[in-house]
Structure 1
Amino acid sequence: MGNVRTGEIRALTGLRIVAAMWVVLFHFRPLIWEASPRLKDDLAPLFDAGAQGVDLFFILSGFVLAWNYLDRMGSQWSGRATLHFLWLRLSRVWPVYLVTMHIAAAWIIFTLHVGTVPSPDVEKLDAISYARQLFMVQLWYEPFFDGTSWDGPAWSISAEWLAYLLFGGIILVVFRMSRVTRARTLMLLAFAAALPPTVLLLASGHLYTPWSWLPRIVAQFLAGVLACAAVRRLHLGKRAQYAAGFAATLLTAAIVGILYYYDANPVAGMVDPGGVVALLFMPLVVTLSIGIGSLPALLSTRLLVYGGQISFSLYMVHEIVHTSWNWAVQEYQIDLPASVQKLVVVSLIAAAVACAMLLFHAVEEPARRWMRRMVDFRDVQHDVHTGPPAAESNRLASIDQARDARPPRSSARAG
């Protein structure tokens, strides 16, 4: 897109909170259905598929990292640059990961000493599990992700860490591919890269099979990287950008429509037929990254961009809020009328968001800046002269600003 190769794509930042809330609602749905059975009739197809918000995160991660690092790391191998990249990724995820991991451990210990209902995760609280989780490798030894982490969602961070370790090699290959491959071919390769999880789903009828997490992270992450390489070769005029924005709206409607279609028309032998919508995630990310118009504009609003910024903290903390309430209900045999249950569900989700905001401002951002200063003296100078830096993506030129600065073109072409 023009000459800008790094920076925040605000619509994709806003998409992060949509993906995070999709996962949150997936986990909270038993409480939601109990509080409002009518909502189950209306929203079950959408909420039941919320676990796939993780797949959307995997694609987003590959796309955004390629957007910021393809030129920096792709032209030649550099051990120093790779280590620098890995440290910056650690600075982004490790602080919140460690805090929520230890909160989850403290909660398990709390249930051992208070009441009569110890957490079912008590048996997982051992030294080996601690060491594996500390270094974010706990998932690498297990065919299924359930029960691998004290804080349930942390399994996906272990998967992401594997993708980060592979990124230095992936980016070398994709950089060279992008120099000799047209944009539409790269887009087709990105679509093909995203296929393995869906192929496995169609073969077994299940989204969760032994080691299925591995093709999910590798395939979706690689698809995101390839899709970004394709986008960087595009030169779009305003008409094409508006068309992409409209296509993003259609893709969103198609995702929702497919989920409701399969709910009304179940497929024999298919337990998770709605999983096929993952094939539309990569085109959705692409069209949002290059499009303008209603949906990209909505996701680029200040509120949703802020939501995207706190989305990782929300993703990591919400299940702790959820499981602690479930424990309290069981321990104290809480039985509330439906009207009060509705208020409780809303309050729990609001509490999760509030905890996410606290984590973001008190842990995620300060720790990220502190860890960055260890390897990047320029950030120290920035702090001394101008105060705290903003998030990495905000300090770089925004792609949205680049669009506005570029003269319009009448057609789109692949490089």
Structure 2
Amino acid sequence: MVNERKPAIPALTGIRFFAALSVALFHLSRPIATSLHLPVGYFFDNGGAPELFFILSGFTLTYARPEGANLSRATTRKFYFSRFSKIYPTYLVGWLLFAPLIYSNLVSLHGTGMATYARLAVYGVASLLLVQAWAPVTANAWNLPGWSLSAQAFFYVLFPFLFAALKRFPAKTLVSVIAVAWGVSVAPTAVLSIMPQPYPNLQWAHDIVDFTPAWRIAEFIAGICLGRLFLAHSSTVSFGFDVAAAVLFVFSMAAMVSVGHLMSKLLQFPFFLLLVYCLACASGPFSQLLGTRLMTLLGEASFAFYILHMPIARFAVRAFPGLLDTPAGFVLFLLALTGLSIVCLMCVEKPVFAYLRSAYKASSPAQLNRPGNSGDSLA
């Protein structure tokens, strides 16, 4: 069986930058929003962009994976190595940048005793191993955005098996799985919202609901199902899908800033699913804009933007107090962060990935060239 590489969908790369930007705004813009009296209070209560990342991840991995990919040890190992090589170098840069920040924070709170170093070791090791999202005490302890990489690592471990199972399902069953995934995604937030006080206001309860990979995998599974539906039923692109994608993009952003957490979870799941599908089928100005060389570059740099925005913001505020409190300072910071993210993409993510890919291919040529071994490309 011949497994041809499928054509890229540039608009799905470009949209990633807006998702990463919304996360940075979620984490950093409260002071300036308050000073400008912007009515976006709900925005700081939901932070829905990781949901788009998870759906998009499931979709793009499914789209890129050859139909003949099997569950052999060599194929699965190659997929795991590809994912690790792609995300971990930039993730490690963020981890290292945050290390002095968390150390100084722990020392200021707890002094320099053994308890401080024990916390530092637990937080650091959990984050290095990408298991921090499984416990509220570690989920946000070391570079806040890292929790979603902890969830993604869990998703990646299961992806070859989920792909093998779901690719056998007919369209009707895939739609049913998406509906169940929607319910699973919303259920923890809904349950927490109706629990008696003080649980709805406890941070650890919100952390369990928002960060635990066991809940968030529903969004990833929905993305896989969406990818299967797209591969089976999309044969043409059209302007109508482009218009729909633009409308869904506006609605998704509006849901972040105008409704509460539970309603946001209810709305954004279908909005994001439809947005991804429509962009994949779109032909028009909106998808063309997202697919330009500039937006594609920004989309490729979005992972670095996402991972680095918190530590760089902390250092920037220490060096320039009040920088993020004014419109000019905030915009200047975002521009600088974007530039640094592109530098990280070009100087860390791409060259390290290329080196690791070459080393992997050199170490196992027989496995990579074995007939019938149609695993994921390391490109």
Matched, 1:56 2:47: no
2:308: which partner in 1?
A: 317
Structure 1 contact 245–293 (Cα < 8 Å) conserved: yes
Which amino acid in 2 is paired with 1:253?
V
Deviations 1:202-260 (A, max 9, x none): 3333693525432443101111111000100014345xx32222221222233244456
Matched, 1:167 2:159: yes
1:287-306 equivalence runs, <5 A? 287-306=278-297
TM-score computed with the length of structure 2 as normaliser: 0.81
1:147: which partner in 2?
A: 140
Matched, 1:176 2:168: yes
Correspondent of 2:185 among 190, 194, 197: 197
Partners of 2:91 and 2:324 lie apart in 1 by 36
Correspondent of 1:373 among 358, 363, 371: 358
1:228: which partner in 2?
A: 227
1:84-103 equivalence runs, <5 A? 84-103=78-97
Per mean C-alpha deviation after superposition, the further-off stretch among 281-290 and 209-218 is: 209-218
Structure 1 contact 11–288 (Cα < 8 Å) conserved: yes
Matched-pair identity in %: 25
**Alpha carbons of 1:19 and 1:216: their partners in 2 closer, same or farther (altered >3 Å)?**
farther
Q: How many residues align?
A: 352
Partners of 2:310 and 2:83 lie apart in 1 by 23
* Structure 1 residues without counterparts, runs of 5 or longer: 263-269, 381-391, 396-415
Structure 2 contact 242–284 (Cα < 8 Å) conserved: yes
**SS of 1:6 mapped into structure 2:** coil
1:32: which partner in 2?
A: 32
Deviations 1:113-169 (A, max 9, x none): 9xx7999x96675333333222212223x0466434x21111111110010011121
**Residue 288 of structure 1, CA deviation:** 0.8
1:243: which partner in 2?
A: 240
Matched, 1:278 2:275: no
Partners of 1:79 and 1:200 lie apart in 2 by 35
CA RMSD of aligned residues (A): 3.3
Per mean C-alpha deviation after superposition, the further-off stretch among 251-260 and 51-60 is: 251-260
**Residue 286 of structure 1, CA deviation:** 0.9
Deviations 1:303-337 (A, max 9, x none): 111110000000000011222344557xxxx5689
Partners of 1:233 and 1:355 lie apart in 2 by 40
Partners of 1:233 and 1:192 lie apart in 2 by 21
**Alpha carbons of 1:197 and 1:215: their partners in 2 closer, same or farther (altered >3 Å)?**
farther
Matched, 1:65 2:72: no
2:374: which partner in 1?
A: none
**Residue 191 of structure 1, CA deviation:** 3.9
Deviations 1:18-46 (A, max 9, x none): 10001011111123225x414x23x555x
Partners of 1:306 and 1:29 lie apart in 2 by 24
2:150: which partner in 1?
A: 158
Which amino acid in 1 is paired with 2:174?
L
**Residue 190 of structure 1, CA deviation:** 2.5
Partners of 1:197 and 1:208 lie apart in 2 by 14
2:9: which partner in 1?
A: 9
Correspondent of 1:359 among 340, 344, 347: 344
Partners of 1:7 and 1:356 lie apart in 2 by 26
Which amino acid in 2 is paired with 1:232?
L
